[in-house]
Every structure is written in C-alpha cells, then in structure tokens.
Structure 1
Amino acid sequence: MSNRPQLRAAVIGAGMLGIDLAGRLTRSTTMTCALVAGRSTSTTGLRLAARMGCATSTGGIDAVTGAGIDVVFDASNAGAHPAHWAALASAGVLLLDLTPSSSGTMVVPTVNGFRAESSRHLSLVSCGGQAVLPVLDVVARHCTPEYIEVVTTVASASAGRATRLNLDEYIATTEYAVRRLTHVPRAKVMTTISPALPAPVFRAQVTVLASGIRPGRLRAGVEAAADAVRAFAPGFEVASLAVEDQLIRATVQVTARDGRLPAYAGNVEIINAAAVLLAERHAAAREVETL
C-alpha cells in the first residue's frame, strides 16, 4: 500500500452531481475532498458538503486555483467549462469534465480507460455516453455499424438546472462521442426528461443498423462488457438485447446503488463512479512514474 498523501480534490458545482461526487471523494483511498465550490451561500448543496467535512466556497474557479488542488471535477455547466480549463491548464492539475462541453480527451472506463493515464484534461462525455458506449464499443468490434440511434430517459427529479440548460450540448456531445468511438458514419441521440411518478430509473434505448452481425459473439461480448461496468457501477444492466437480420436493439438501465442517491438517479451514479475511477487510475499511473 502506498504511503503517499491523498490528493487534494475540488468539485465545481453543488448540485446533485457535485454533492454525490463530494461524498464519493470522502470515501476514496487516494483522494480527499478539499473544496466544493458553488454559486451561492444559500445553496443547499454547499451546506451538505460542509456536513461531510469539505471546505466550501462561492468563489468558483478563483477559489479552486488558490487552494492547492491536485484534481478538479467540473460538475457545473458546459458553457463555463472552457474558462475553467483555461484557468487550470498551466497549473499541472488533472481536470475531469462532467459537463457535455466536448472538450478534453473523451474517456469511458471500459472502452478507452487507459487514456486517463496520460491526459490531464478528461471528458466524461455525458451520463448517456457512459451508459451506452460500453455496449456500442462491443457492437463496433463484432460487426460493422452503419447507423446508431440512442434515446435516453431520465427522471425529472435527477435532472438539475445545469442538465436542463445543457440539453443541446448533451445531444451534440453524445452523438459526437458515439461517432468517434465506434466509427459509425451516422448517429442520432434523443433524450426525454420524465415527470412520471414513481420516478423511472435511468434508461437508454439503443438501435443499431449493422452488417456482419454474429449474434452469439455479440451477446457474449455485451455480457462481458456489462460485468466490467458493474465493477464500478453495480446498478448497470443490459435489460434486453435482440438481434434480427441487420438490426440490433438493446435497453440499458442504471439503478443507483450507492445509498446516498435515490434509485432513479442512475445517470448521476454512472458518470460520477466513472469519473472517480478515472481520477484514481490517473493518480496510480503518476505514482508509478515517480517510483
């Protein structure tokens, strides 16, 4: 076990995403939650962060740059992220972008998680991207996709203000990641914020038009990919997978199992679990380099 001190981590954003991140950091063996930066002293999230033992601030990125931070998780909004990277680019810190700004190196742990070892600016794509890309990566390796369509459904209660403001960016960035990481020529992403009660768990419907499908190998690959995701997000499930001629249909759903989140907030759990895992992988790689 390493005797190196824990890395000091900061979270920008005090919504559901940011506060769940702060909670995960308090349980990390490699990082400690040194700061949560929000917008207002009246923000409920900042009060929750303080109860966890995290320092809090309404100073935004200025508070982060002056706090001796090693790792920054940006859970604010896509429009603000470029300024955050500009302020941190020369500081030698690791910045993980949980907004759909499409900047940085796009990383999904089970698809190209090794990229986290060398990049200091990581994009988590989107919650939808983290949910579907492990499955779509398998599809792209076992056949030739020609068109991919993704429809995500998120409970209204787990879609905060930034999520709603960034819907266009969410769609554009998720589509871009699907095309780039699967090499499919055409992709379409749609999303629904559901007010239904009881609140539905986070779900993604995937439709793929492809050639050269080998159903047996595809199913085995998808099962292995799901097992790999469950290693860090145990509520991940491929609820259905159907192959008919040149059409693949799959339903992915994520139930929050962390305990701090309501079960329907699987969108929060999968992106946050991935972000912490990637930060720990980056830290481990840096430690090996210094030995």
Structure 2
Amino acid sequence: MPNRPQLRAAVIGAGMLGIDLADRLTRSTTMTCALVAGRRTSTAGLRLAARMGCATSADGIDAVTGAGIDVVFDASNAAAHPAHWAALASAGVLLVDLTPSSSGTMVAPTVNGVRAESSRHLSMVSCGGQAVLPVLDMVTQHCTPEYVEVVTTVASASAGRATRLNLDEYITTTQYAVRRLTRASHAKVMALISPALPAPVFRAQVTVLASGIQPEPLRAGIAAVADAVRTFAPGYTVTSFTIDGQLIKATVNVTARSHRLPAHAGNVEIINAAAVLLAERHAAARKVETL
C-alpha cells in the first residue's frame, strides 16, 4: 500500500480531555493534530496546545469548519454538540463525540468497534460507558440480565467544569447505552465525584441480576475482554468479579498511564484512548476505500 498523508484532525475543547487528545494525535500514525479550538484566548489549554505544535483558535466550531479538517473530536459539552454536528454534517468529516450528548452511533472498541469504519458520527457514550460496556457485553453473552446497576467514582481533580455541568446527561446517556446493550428491563446509573486525598483512580462498579448464568465461560470471557481493553488502555483492570446465585458483581479500575495525565485521571484515559483508536480504524478503512 503506498504511503498516504495523515488525516488532519481537530479537537474542540481545551480542557484536560482536549489537551490529552491533542497529545495522542501528535503520536498517531494516521492522523495529525491540525487544530485545537476553544472559546477563550486566555485558556491555558490553548497555550499548552500551541507549545505542543498544534495550531490553535478561540473561535470554536467556526475555526474548524474552514480549516480543511478530516476528523473532529468534540471534547466540549453536551449542550454544544448538536450545533457542532449541524455545522459539520454535510462536510464529509468524521465527528467523534466525547460529550454525553447521546447523538451519533454509540461505540466501544471491544463491543461494536467495527461500526467506526463506516459511520461518520460516533458517540463515545461516556467515560463510564467505555469502562463498563466491555464487561456488560461479555455478561450478556453468558446470561440474561434483568437488572443492571452501575456506580462510577471519579476524583474531583479529574472532573472539569463540563463534566460537572453534564452530570445529568452523563447518567441518562450511560443508562441508555447500558439498557440498549444488555436489554435488561431495568438499569440504573449513579455517578460520584470524590474529594478524597490522595485522589482515587477512576472506578466503575457493576451489579447485574440475571438468569441462566454460565459461570466458568463468563469468568474466562471477562478475563479475555479485560486483556482486549488493555491493548489500548493499559491501566484497565477488573479488580474483582464474583457470581453468587443470580447476582453478578464486578469492579473496574482505570489508572491513567499517559505521561500527560495523573494516575487518577483514568476517566480521561479510557474515553480518549478508545476515541483515537476508533478514529484510526475509520481512517484506515477510508484509505483502503480510496485506493
């Protein structure tokens, strides 16, 4: 296959999420960070992005639409995302939504990552969704869930302004994704922001009430899917997994391993690592189609 130029990628949002995305793009083999767009020139994130070698702008989506971009990562907030999609829908770009806006095709790499090859509007659900959907996908293959409960805990230092403003959307979107995947008649998602010091790593606790459980194949499947997630998010671990009658319990911890993130920012690591992986998969499929 002949060498082809990298796709030009833009990041909307200059918080912790956006800057870590920009850093990952500088190390991608299929994409390059062409632009980081925020809303205020005084944003520290824009200055940091500029030092990383990315072009920056405080004009938000307006800067993106005229910059010849192929892939856009939206790391802003759920309320702004619909307008971003409206501005880009006819532009032929790939839009990867990291906000919990619930628009676009909901994807997680080990669950339905193949859909990233053809869809132009991807929803990453939420950081909690990326942590628990791989586990729940495996659970549904070995039993019939009737009730699913998810409790996520994030360190206060890893929860920026957009995260706090979007808590309702986070819960609604994650809950919808859980119900859609498991087909459980009831699902409940709760989100905790912990002020504890030292800051705790990102954690997701899953409880499932199910029938027809196949214990040994399920245990083996959980171990396998954790290994699969670690190929792109190495700090992902299923720290406990128990089956007691019809009750399944699992705890997932995600420790950030990126050099730009503190260890407790696993919520940023899991969603950004998944987003870049799926965008690279889309880019690879796009290059093959053009040969």
Shorter-chain TM-score bucket reads over 0.9
- After TM superposition, list the pairs within 5 Å mapping 1:36-55 onto structure 2: 36-55=36-55
1:225: which partner in 2? Answer: 225
In structure 2, what is the Cα distance between the partners aligned to 1:175 and 1:81? 19
| Counterpart residue type for residue 95 of structure 2 | L
Secondary structure of 1:142's partner? coil
Deviations 1:97-132 (A, max 9, x none): 000000000000000000001100000000000000
1:207: which partner in 2? Answer: 207
1:152: which partner in 2? Answer: 152
In structure 2, what is the Cα distance between the partners aligned to 1:206 and 1:240? 10
Secondary structure of 2:199's partner? coil
Give the Å deviation of 1:286.
1.1
1:183: which partner in 2? Answer: 183
2:119 is aligned with 1:119 = yes
In structure 2, what is the Cα distance between the partners aligned to 1:69 and 1:283? 13
In structure 2, what is the Cα distance between the partners aligned to 1:44 and 1:182? 41
Secondary structure of 2:197's partner? coil
Give the Å deviation of 1:290.
1.7
Deviations 1:60-97 (A, max 9, x none): 10000000000000000000000000000000000000
Secondary structure of 1:232's partner? coil
Give the Å deviation of 1:260.
1.1
In structure 2, what is the Cα distance between the partners aligned to 1:215 and 1:235? 26
In structure 2, what is the Cα distance between the partners aligned to 1:179 and 1:275? 22
In structure 2, what is the Cα distance between the partners aligned to 1:187 and 1:109? 22
Query: How many residues are paired up?
Result: 291
1:97: which partner in 2? Answer: 97
After TM superposition, the structure 1 stretch with the greater mean CA deviation from structure 2, 1-10 or 278-287, is 1-10
Give the Å deviation of 1:2.
4.6
Q: TM-score, normalised by structure 2?
A: 0.99
In structure 2, what is the Cα distance between the partners aligned to 1:185 and 1:255? 32
| Counterpart residue type for residue 172 of structure 2 | A
In structure 2, what is the Cα distance between the partners aligned to 1:75 and 1:197? 27
Deviations 1:191-242 (A, max 9, x none): 1000100000000010000001111111000000000000000000000001
User: Percent identity between the aligned chains?
Assistant: 85
2:278: which partner in 1? Answer: 278
| Counterpart residue type for residue 290 of structure 1 | T
1:143: which partner in 2? Answer: 143
Give the Å deviation of 1:185.
1.7
Unaligned residue ranges in structure 2 (runs of 5+): none
In structure 2, what is the Cα distance between the partners aligned to 1:205 and 1:276? 25
In structure 1, what is the Cα distance between the partners aligned to 2:260 and 2:177? 29
2:4: which partner in 1? Answer: 4
Secondary structure of 1:264's partner? coil
- After TM superposition, list the pairs within 5 Å mapping 1:16-35 onto structure 2: 16-35=16-35
| Counterpart residue type for residue 250 of structure 1 | A
Cα RMSD of the aligned pairs, angstroms, is 0.7
Secondary structure of 1:137's partner? helix
Secondary structure of 2:141's partner? helix
In structure 1, what is the Cα distance between the partners aligned to 2:94 and 2:229? 23
